Amino acid sequence: MRAVLLTGFGGPEKLEYREDVPEPQAGPGEVRIRIAATAINNTDIWTREGAYGSPEDPTASAGWRREPLEFPRIQGADVVGRIDRVGADVPESRLGERVIVDPMLYSGGERELVDTAYLGSERDGGFAEFTTVPAQNAHPIDSALTDAELATFPTAYTTAMRMLNRAGVRDGETVVVTGASGGVGSALIQLATLRGARAVAVTAGAKRERALELGAYATVDRSSDDLNSAVRATVGAVDVVADVVAGPNFPALLRMVGPLGRYVVAGGIAGPLVETDLRTVYLRQLQLIGSSFGTHEDFALLRQHIARGELTPLLAETYPLHELPEAQKAFGAKDFFGKIVITLADRA
């Protein structure tokens, strides 16, 4: 089959397109999916770069579980396609189902989420013609959306859902969203608005109109000299900061949170190593909350939103499989709003 293999930690040169990769076979309790579309996530880039570090050495090369990764690996977590093979103990009636895949591969309770396997990281994923997953992770989807549009949802939206749930965001609260034009950020705008919160999008000035169209209550330019003052001038003190950027603005993000407020983080694309004045945290009695990916329950809620047509798929651009390195470079440039998706319709 056609696939792109990640051959080691490094740059896009570590992505090898091949047409002679053995097709995977569905084991007991599994299904095989003929893939139609797979989205790119920041996790794909950080995993390729080995950028997660280790608890002892933040500069160490490691995957998202902060441990060594097995190579070669087929990345790609956000899989949409049709079941074409079933393993033992899976009914043949599932053959031909159009499915969307929950990429978190755990079978127990929520506590397992932080150590689970992730599709495209600990198990081969969707940058290929076929992949296999546990049958319970492949969910039938009946939607008028295209395969590429559906592929924009799984990781970004369940990550956003998890962030909002972890922070306990409620109707009427104000939530600052960093990285608002990216996959998770744009999902946060929509999901926060659906639960009655006021989303304040931190984004580039050129992208503010799109954020407002998605339901953002207000926008703040990410290049503001004093981000805290800019946000407070717009909406006053906020209840929650939902952050995927971190970096130099981390102290300002904490300062804008009102007393008893919450800061929830699921990424650090501007720099994961930060400093702050802990007096801000304890004197204002703030909560600092870590969040990563989403639970199966979050994914079920996402599918309900999709079924009710409550979410706007933000498909920025599509690339064929053999252009995955170029697609990842475009992803890194951040000159788009939403998601970049790899499609399997065209051959090299």
Query: Averaged over 170-185, what is the pLDDT?
Result: 96
The overall average pLDDT reported for the chain is: 94
Q: Is the pTM of this model over 0.85?
A: yes
State the pLDDT confidence band at 347, using cuts at 50, 70 and 90. low
Query: Averaged over 37-64, what is the pLDDT?
Result: 92
Identify the pLDDT of residue 346. 61
Identify the pLDDT of residue 54. 87
Asked whether residue 178 carries a pLDDT value surpassing 60, the answer given is yes
Domains and CATH numbers, the chain: 3-152+313-343 (3.90.180.10), 156-290 (3.40.50.720)
Convert the pLDDT of each residue in 262-293 to its tens digit: 999 999 988 999 999 999 999 999 999 999 99
State the pLDDT confidence band at 139, using cuts at 50, 70 and 90. very high
% of the chain residues with pLDDT over 90:
86
Identify the pLDDT of residue 18. 98
Query: Averaged over 297-321, what is the pLDDT?
Result: 96
Phi then psi for residue 75, to 5 deg, are: -85, -175
State the pLDDT confidence band at 64, using cuts at 50, 70 and 90. confident
Asked whether residue 6 carries a pLDDT value surpassing 70, the answer given is yes
Q: 275 in the Ramachandran plot: left (φ > 0), alpha (ψ -120 to 50) or beta?
A: beta
Per DSSP bridges, beta strands 30-39 and 130-134 are antiparallel
Convert the pLDDT of each residue in 202-261 to its tens digit: 998 889 999 999 999 999 998 898 999 999 999 998 999 999 999 999 999 999 999 999
State the pLDDT confidence band at 113, using cuts at 50, 70 and 90. confident
